[in-house]
């Protein structure tokens, strides 16, 4: 079912941008709160330049691509809940990715499963598990990949089928401020930095410390009046002050139509490991309902460590 495919893609939306877009000069620039304090506190701070970094950031996408060329260990937990909050199925697994030459493989070192996490064919019974697998698990040997950022976040206009879905997925995952055509009922509602959506948000900038790192904190939050007419409810990002590298991002999305509804919250922490910026923690909670399937409530989190080239 197409609606299932589109929602699985949407629920992967994390954040970051890898293709330059025009710096907003309209409703975003006019409505940023706290900017005067930051400018006075940080000599030489250029607000428009900073917003350009927010919109065109590549560090988040680069961090995830770095996982393709490194050895690392992941401690993974997935849980599914009933409507009373009781765990009905789960998986706790420890995996180790091995990168040798230009190929990577992954070994399942530990696994504990409860409930009906798998069906009789050892396939996932839940979309939350499929989502997690798509992001973090490697099956078989994958060769020839790299961590170079190219034009892959530009959705090909002539693509169709699986290739079109992959293109939409990448834009949704790493570009929450950009419109992604083709997803039913949502359309351009994800383009929060464009004037037609920006007036529905309040934007904030401040100085904060995140895990001991001096950061610029940027926040976009939907105005209460427009709460039912947006997809991205809140987007928060911490950028390292000395070079604008992303340190963390968390955000929430939700939407309700007569066909489907969902509420999703995601948080990702990044750290510098030698020359590589990598994700070290990711937490997801989701509650969503699609036609023909029971409502699914789940969460997953992963902690990544032991990075080596």
Give me the tens of pLDDT residue by residue for the chain, a chain 309 residues long. 444 444 454 544 433 333 334 444 456 777 788 988 898 888 888 888 888 888 777 788 889 889 999 999 999 999 999 999 999 999 999 999 999 988 999 999 999 999 999 999 999 999 889 878 887 899 999 999 888 876 555 544 555 554 555 555 555 556 656 666 666 667 678 888 888 888 999 999 999 999 999 999 999 999 999 988 998 899 999 999 998 899 999 988 888 888 878 888 989 999 999 999 999 999 999 898 877 778 999 999 999 999 998
| Residue 128: strand, helix, or coil | helix
- Structure-token pair, residue 79: 């849980």
CA distances from 138 to 74, 132, 234 (A): 12, 11, 31
State pLDDT tens for residues 163-213. 555 555 555 556 656 666 666 667 678 888 888 888 999 999 999 999 999
Rounded Cα distance, 274 and 285, in Å: 31
∠ CA 193-194-199 to the nearest 5 degrees? 80
State pLDDT tens for residues 1-16. 444 444 454 544 433 3
Rounded Cα distance, 216 and 205, in Å: 7
239 DSSP assignment: E
- Average pLDDT over the chain reads 82
- Count Cβ neighbours within 10 Å for each residue of 241-258 and write b for 16 or more, e otherwise: beebbbbbbbbbbbbeee
Q: What is the CA radius of gyration of the chain?
A: 20
Output the pLDDT for position 291: 74
Backbone region of residue 292 per phi and psi (left: phi > 0; alpha: psi in -120 to 50; beta: other values) = left
Full-model pTM: 0.84
∠ CA 40-41-42 to the nearest 5 degrees? 95
Output the pLDDT for position 183: 64
Neighbours of 299 (CB within 10 A): 19
Q: Are 115 and 79 in contact (CB under 8 A)?
A: no
Sign of CA dihedral 250, 256, 259, 262: positive
Output the pLDDT for position 152: 54
Rounded Cα distance, 299 and 3, in Å: 21
Report the Cα 242 to chain-centroid distance in Å.
Answer: 24
Backbone region of residue 203 per phi and psi (left: phi > 0; alpha: psi in -120 to 50; beta: other values) = beta
Contacts of 31 (CB under 8 A, 6+ apart): 198, 199, 201, 202, 203
Domain encompassing residue 140: 2-308
Rounded Cα distance, 194 and 164, in Å: 23
CA distances from 291 to 187, 254, 261 (A): 20, 17, 10
Task: Count up the domains in the chain and report the number.
Answer: 1
């Amino acid at each position: 079912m197409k609606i299932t495919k589109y929602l699985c893609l949407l629920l992967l939306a994390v954040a970051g941008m890898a293709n330059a877009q025009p710096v907003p000069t309209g409703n975003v620039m006019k409505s940023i709160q706290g900017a005067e304090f930051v400018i006075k506190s940080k000599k030489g701070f250029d607000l428009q330049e900073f917003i350009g970094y927010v919109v065109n950031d590549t560090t988040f996408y680069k961090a995830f691509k770095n996982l393709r060329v490194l050895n690392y260990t992941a401690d993974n937990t997935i849980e599914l809940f009933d409507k009373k909050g009781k765990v009905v199925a789960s998986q706790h697994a420890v995996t180790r990715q091995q990168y040798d030459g230009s190929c990577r493989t992954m070994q399942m070192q530990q696994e504990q499963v409860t409930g009906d996490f798998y069906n009789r064919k050892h396939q996932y019974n839940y979309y939350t598990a499929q989502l997690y697998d798509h992001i973090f698990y490697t099956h078989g040997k994958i060769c020839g990949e790299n961590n170079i950022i190219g034009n892959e976040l530009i959705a090909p206009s002539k693509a169709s089928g699986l290739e079109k879905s992959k293109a939409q997925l990448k834009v949704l995952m790493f570009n929450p401020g950009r419109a992604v055509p083709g997803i039913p009922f949502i359309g351009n509602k994800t383009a929060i930095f464009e004037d037609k959506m920006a007036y529905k948000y309040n934007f904030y900038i401040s100085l904060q410390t995140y895990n001991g790192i001096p950061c610029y904190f940027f926040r976009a939050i939907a105005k209460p009046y427009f709460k039912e007419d947006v997809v991205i409810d809140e987007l928060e990002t911490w950028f390292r002050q000395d070079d604008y590298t992303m340190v963390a991002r968390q955000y929430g999305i939700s939407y309700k139509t007569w066909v489907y509804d969902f509420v999703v919250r995601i948080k990702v922490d990044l750290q510098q490991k030698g020359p590589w910026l990598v994700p070290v923690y990711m937490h997801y909670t989701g509650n969503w309902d699609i036609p023909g399937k029971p409502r699914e409530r789940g969460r997953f989190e992963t902690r990544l460590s032991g990075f080596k080239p």
